[in-house]
Structure 1
Amino acid sequence: MATVLITAAVVALLVILDQAIKLWATAVLAPVGAMLLIPGVVELRYYLNDGAAFSSFSGQQLFLIVFTSVAMVAIAAYLLIKRPARKLEYWAWVLVLAGGIGNWIDRVFNHQVVDYINFLFIRFAIFNLADVLVCTGIGLLVLNLILEELAAKKKASGEKTDGTI
């Protein structure tokens, strides 16, 4: 039960942080368009995205809302029912859940997502904290898969392993 409460608190805090930054971006960045943060590296630029990553599915809000809703319910159920044994996997899913909820809120209430982080040294999509949470979570899930595969190979080869990595 404690894990569920801690998880809910972490997700709530991350969603609140994401929404607070988006409110700040709307209030401060929208009137000026952009603010240079680190010259030649990154700026904060107000951008409304009516699609998903890299503006894919642009204008298809109902699809994105339904898809995200189903995905977030599935992730929450997985965390509550299965409770992944590896902490890395568990917290990776928590990050994906928090980021998904953050962008879902924007889509439901504003029909578009507020993005504000713009790298200047490469051509890349403008993004936000929720996107960072989802991408970090997915990256940690990939790392977890790699570590599980390495542990399985070690075990299959007869090496002593205590299951921790």
Structure 2
Amino acid sequence: MGPPISGSRRPQLVIGSVLLAGIDLIIKAVAWSILADGRVIPLGVIELWRTTNPGVAFSLGEALPSWVISVGSGVVLAALISVALVRAPYLSAAASWAGVLVIGGALGNFIDRLDGNGVVDYLHSNWFATFNLADVFITAGVVVFCLGMLLERRHRAADTKTAAER
């Protein structure tokens, strides 16, 4: 596992995740309210419209009872949080921020789904699924994590090469 990185990243993970989930839930509530009359607001490549997703990503599992989706999502979220908090002292900055994004988005969608009506989605395009800010957070977190891993691997390879040349 290697030595811990100086300073625990646990507070950053917890505070950042809760903050992002809160922002997501506020924006969902505003979008739900503004788009209540069924109108669509074009914004160029994307448009705002009001819908819910009773399933998970890309509406997978939408025919399942809402409690099954909620319990499954809760288990995945609990596992993500547990692993992130245990590994927090060893996370790079990129991995820590990736965790904040993924957990914040997952937490926002989990809380939103607890009423049994599914997740509020409001960002629509004609070329991709309708989604929300939490989905953007999750996707961005995965991208940040992958890029961080690639950069870390390159950095380690360069360090190994330098050490071998000595």
TM bucket (normalised to shorter chain) is: 0.7 to 0.9
**2 CA distance for matches of 1:64 and 1:125?**
19
Match of 1:73 in 2: 78
Q: Greater CA deviation, 72-81 or 107-116?
A: 72-81
Change (3 A) 1:132 1:9: same
Letter in 2 for 1:73: A
Q: Secondary structure at the match of 1:32?
A: coil
**1 CA distance for matches of 2:101 and 2:73?**
14
Q: What are the within-5 Å matches in structure 2 for residues 4-153 of structure 1?
A: 4-38=10-44, 41-60=45-64, 61-83=66-88, 84-120=90-126, 123-153=127-157
**1 CA distance for matches of 2:101 and 2:91?**
16
**1 CA distance for matches of 2:85 and 2:39?**
42
Once superposed, which parts of structure 1, at least 4 consecutive aligned residues long, lie more than 4 Å away?
none
> Which sections of structure 1, spanning at least 5 residues, go unmatched?
161-165
1:137 offset after TM fit, Å? Answer: 0.6
**2 CA distance for matches of 1:141 and 1:46?**
30
Change (3 A) 1:56 1:36: same
Identity in percent: 31
1:72 offset after TM fit, Å? Answer: 1.7
Letter in 1 for 2:93: K
1:88 offset after TM fit, Å? Answer: 0.3
Give TM-score, length-normalised by structure 1.
Answer: 0.83
Letter in 2 for 1:137: G
Q: Secondary structure at the match of 2:131?
A: coil
Letter in 2 for 1:99: G
Match of 1:163 in 2: none
The structure with higher relative contact order (CA 8 Å, sep 6+) is 2
Give TM-score, length-normalised by structure 2.
Answer: 0.82
Aligned residues: 156
> Which sections of structure 2, spanning at least 5 residues, go unmatched?
1-6
